Amino acid sequence: MQIVVMGAGSIGCHLGGYLAAVHDVEVGLIGRAAAMSVLAERGLTLTSGRRPELRLPGAALTLATDASAAAGADVVLVTVKSDGTREAARQLAPHLAPGTVVVSFQNGLHNAEALREELPEQTVLTGMVPYNVLQTEPGTFHQGTGGALMLDDAPVGAPLVAALTAAGLSVQARGDMREVQYAKLLMNLNNAVNALSGLPLRAQLSDRSYRACLAQCQTEALAAYHAAGIRPAQLGAVRPTLTPVLLRLPDALFTRAAAKMLAIDAKARSSMWEDLQRGRLTEVDSLQGEIVSLATRHGRSAPGCARLVELVHEAEVAGAGKARTWSGPELLAELRQAV
């Protein structure tokens, strides 16, 4: 089975690295030249508190910077940022055989749809990665949180599900991936809060003020969902509609009631934090920005989400590692002022 990862960043290297260790699976990684050069020199190391460390030497990796390396692939995993989806698809299109399975393992709601429009001869599935993966040093990627991968329950996806399972990754084939995406978006609204806090995820979520910021964003999102007739899937023990209530609890109560939510190791941070540290554009327009757009279309507003979009864009302009770090009370006051 030949699998190619298009967009070999943190998630792409995580998925591709584990799959590359599976017997009878050949994996190719396509990414930026600088990133592929690091992997060629240093190899790929995957760490996690949930499984033993995996090291793959550079000589054992199939690395490329051009989409032509996807020729002959049975499955292509697309892990580029949302704003790069259509360009990635256009680069892939000349090299993929009809019927090639293409899976979007990306944040945001519209990537699979965009891939289907650009790749009408291929079979596109929607996927979801529930956990955090952070590059802790060049060539080393750490999974800081847990959960099961999910993708469309379709016969053509069965070989990939089998390969992921053989790689030791938990995976579920689901018939409700649209609802799963909306539930994941609720979770991802914390990315901006975490990025602006400058803190590891566990420390940030242990602070009631930061949790209140997330609760405000989720409350606005749930109101927009209700107006649009959207019912997000329940992915954990708590119904999505009750999560903002849980987030607003005092710290001591939250720590007891949400032990699983805080089961995060000390290294875990959001990918948006990493983007700001490295001077890259973020996906905030596909996260909080998506809620603002949905609310507007249905005659509602999402002022807290809108303000976070502005603050993250200001941080992008500030440059690598130069963005303001917001305390919990400061950020919460900023969002409440926007309401």
pLDDT digits (tens, 9 = 90+) for 23-59: 999 999 999 999 999 999 999 999 998 889 999 999 9
CATH of the domain at 109: 3.40.50.720
Do 150 and 24 have their domain in common?
A: yes
State how many domains the chain has.
2
pTM of the model: 0.92
Do 72 and 163 have their domain in common?
A: yes
CB 70 within 8 A of CB 95: yes
Predicted pLDDT at 91: 98
Q: Percent of the chain scored above 70 by pLDDT?
A: 100
Predicted pLDDT at 221: 98
d(CA 260, CA 272): 22
The arithmetic mean of pLDDT across residues 125-152, rounded, is: 94
Q: Tell me, what DSSP letter sits at residue 63?
A: E
89-97 contact pairs (CB < 8 A, 24+) = 89/114, 89/115, 89/118, 89/119, 90/118, 91/66, 91/67, 92/6, 92/67, 92/119, 93/118, 93/119, 94/67, 94/68, 95/67, 95/68, 95/69, 95/70, 95/71, 96/70, 96/71, 96/121, 96/122, 97/72
Give the model confidence (pLDDT) of 227-253 as tens digits: 999 999 999 888 999 999 999 999 999
CATH of the domain at 265: 1.10.1040.10
pLDDT exceeds cutoff 80 at 262: no
pLDDT exceeds cutoff 90 at 198: yes
Predicted pLDDT at 321: 83
160: which residues sit within 8 A by CB, 6+ positions away? 3, 75, 101, 103, 151
Do 130 and 265 have their domain in common?
A: no
DSSP symbols for 68-135? GGGTT-SEEEE-S-GGGHHHHHHHHGGGPPTT-EEEE--SSSSHHHHHHHH-TTSEEEEEE--S-EEE
Q: Please compute, for residue 68, the number of CA atoms within 13 A of its CA located in the half-sphere on the CB side.
A: 1
The arithmetic mean of pLDDT across residues 17-23, rounded, is: 95
Do 236 and 305 have their domain in common?
A: yes
Predicted pLDDT at 2: 98
Last residue of a domain, one of 159, 175, 191: 175
Report in angstroms the alpha-carbon separations of 282 from 36, 152, 277, 278.
Answer: 21, 26, 11, 10
d(CA 140, CA 122): 32
d(CA 254, CA 92): 46
Do 41 and 136 have their domain in common?
A: yes
The arithmetic mean of pLDDT across residues 132-148, rounded, is: 92
DSSP-derived 3-state class of residue 311: helix
Predicted pLDDT at 241: 94
Do 168 and 214 have their domain in common?
A: no
Do 245 and 307 have their domain in common?
A: yes
Do 134 and 259 have their domain in common?
A: no
Do 204 and 77 have their domain in common?
A: no
Give the model confidence (pLDDT) of 67-77 as tens digits: 999 999 999 99
Do 206 and 157 have their domain in common?
A: no
d(CA 129, CA 139): 20
Q: Report which of 61, 92, 55, 81 is spatially closest to residue 272, judged by C-alpha positions.
A: 81
Q: Percent of the chain scored above 90 by pLDDT?
A: 90
Mean pLDDT of the chain: 95
State the residue for tokens 């327009």.
285
Last residue of a domain, one of 153, 175, 197: 175
Last residue of a domain, one of 141, 175, 209: 175
β-bridge mates for residue 142, sequence order: 47, 134
pLDDT exceeds cutoff 90 at 259: no
The arithmetic mean of pLDDT across residues 191-213, rounded, is: 96
Edge-first strand order for the sheet with 54-56 is 54-56, 44-48, 140-143, 133-137
CB 257 within 8 A of CB 265: no
Do 113 and 212 have their domain in common?
A: no
The domain in which residue 38 lies consists of 2-175
Do 197 and 149 have their domain in common?
A: no
